[in-house]
């Protein structure tokens, strides 16, 4: 699968997950849903007019928050020091940064803490929506699994529907913290690993875990 194929898989699967979130779990009443919907439209090459029409669907009580979030994320990605950054990277980067901030990961920067502080329940809802349709979650799992970056490995694990772990906020946060950290395990990381050891996530994700 080439890079363009992977990018399209990541974009189309996000679209499908957002559709499930909206139709089955009232995602269209959530600010993160609308931020990701806008980012996905941008990744598909939506014009400013099309994007404006899309955002007309945002509930009135969320309008100000969503506009502010989109302005903040756009400013954040505009400041990234790359010559070119694929729009789908911005889409999934929003999810990754939100996960890091929510989990109090050592990898979360001060700038990310200001821009990507989304509610825990919103993040859990996104992953549950994707996992509600196995074909969506499985495509995302296989797309992220070959990518060595810790954030990609965290996403691969969270989309793995073939483990016995029930996805909840605590599990999500522990997984992200443990994969993001470097060096010998700290006391808190050891506690995270002990909790995850009660699930098959350890075997699915931590085959080279530090010190073992």
Q: Would you list the DSSP string of 8-30?
A: HHHHHHHHHHHHHHHHHH-GGGS
Tally of domains within the chain: 1
- Residue 21 placed within a domain: yes
pLDDT band at 184 (very low <50, low <70, confident <90, very high): low
Closest CA to 14 of 88, 105, 103: 88
Each residue's pLDDT tens digit, 26-58: 999 999 999 999 999 999 999 999 999 999 999
Dist. CA 56–CA 126, nearest whole Å: 21
- pLDDT in the model for residue 167: 86
Each residue's pLDDT tens digit, 90-141: 999 999 999 999 999 988 999 999 999 999 999 999 999 999 999 999 999 9
For CA atoms 52, 53, 58, 61, the dihedral sign is positive
Average pLDDT, stretch 157-162? 88
Asked if pLDDT for residue 10 goes beyond 70, the answer is yes
Phi, psi of 37 (to 5 degrees): -65, -40
- Residue 212 placed within a domain: no
- Residue 137 placed within a domain: yes
Asked if pLDDT for residue 64 goes beyond 70, the answer is yes
CA 176 to chain centroid? 11
CA 58 to chain centroid? 21
Phi-psi region of 26 (alpha: psi -120 to 50; beta: other; left: phi over 0): left
Place of tokens 């060096």: 183
- pLDDT in the model for residue 135: 95
Asked if pLDDT for residue 210 goes beyond 60, the answer is no
What stretch of H or E contains 178?
helix 169-180
- pLDDT in the model for residue 128: 94
Average pLDDT, stretch 65-92? 86
Asked if pLDDT for residue 209 goes beyond 50, the answer is no
- Residue 210 placed within a domain: no
Closest CA to 118 of 50, 10, 30: 30
- Residue 35 placed within a domain: yes
Domain carrying residue 104: 3-205
- Residue 211 placed within a domain: no
Please give the share of the chain, as a percent, with pLDDT higher than 70: 85
What stretch of H or E contains 97?
helix 87-102
Residues in CB range of 22: below 8 A, 6 or more apart: 28, 33
Average pLDDT, stretch 165-175? 87
- Residue 43 placed within a domain: yes
Per the CB < 8 A criterion, the answer to whether 30 and 125 are in contact is: yes
- pLDDT in the model for residue 211: 46
Asked if pLDDT for residue 208 goes beyond 50, the answer is no
- pLDDT in the model for residue 144: 93
Average pLDDT, stretch 13-31? 97
- pLDDT in the model for residue 199: 66
- pLDDT in the model for residue 177: 86
Residue 106: CB atoms within 10 A of its CB come to 13
- pLDDT in the model for residue 162: 83
3-state secondary structure of 109: coil
- Residue 105 placed within a domain: yes
Per the CB < 8 A criterion, the answer to whether 104 and 146 are in contact is: no
Asked if pLDDT for residue 8 goes beyond 70, the answer is yes
């Amino acid at each position: 699968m080439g890079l363009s194929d992977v990018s399209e898989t990541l974009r189309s699967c996000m679209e499908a997950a957002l559709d499930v979130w909206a139709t089955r779990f009232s995602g269209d009443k959530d600010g993160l849903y609308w931020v990701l919907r806008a980012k996905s439209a941008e990744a598909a090459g939506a014009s400013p007019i099309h994007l404006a029409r899309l955002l007309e669907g945002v509930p009135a009580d969320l309008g100000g928050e969503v506009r502010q979030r989109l302005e903040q994320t756009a400013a954040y990605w505009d400041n990234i020091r790359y010559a070119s950054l694929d729009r789908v990277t911005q889409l999934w980067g929003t999810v990754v940064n939100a996960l890091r901030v929510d989990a109090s990961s050592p990898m979360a920067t001060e700038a990310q803490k200001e821009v990507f502080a989304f509610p825990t329940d919103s993040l859990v809802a996104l992953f549950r929506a994707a996992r509600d349709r196995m074909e969506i979650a499985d495509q995302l799992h296989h797309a992220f699994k070959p990518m060595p970056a810790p954030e990609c490995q965290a996403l691969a694990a969270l989309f793995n529907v073939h483990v016995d772990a029930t996805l909840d906020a605590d599990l999500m946060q522990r997984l992200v913290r443990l994969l993001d950290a470097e060096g010998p395990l700290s006391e808190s990381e050891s506690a995270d690993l002990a909790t995850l050891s009660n699930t098959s996530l350890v075997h699915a994700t931590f085959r080279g875990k530090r010190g073992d």
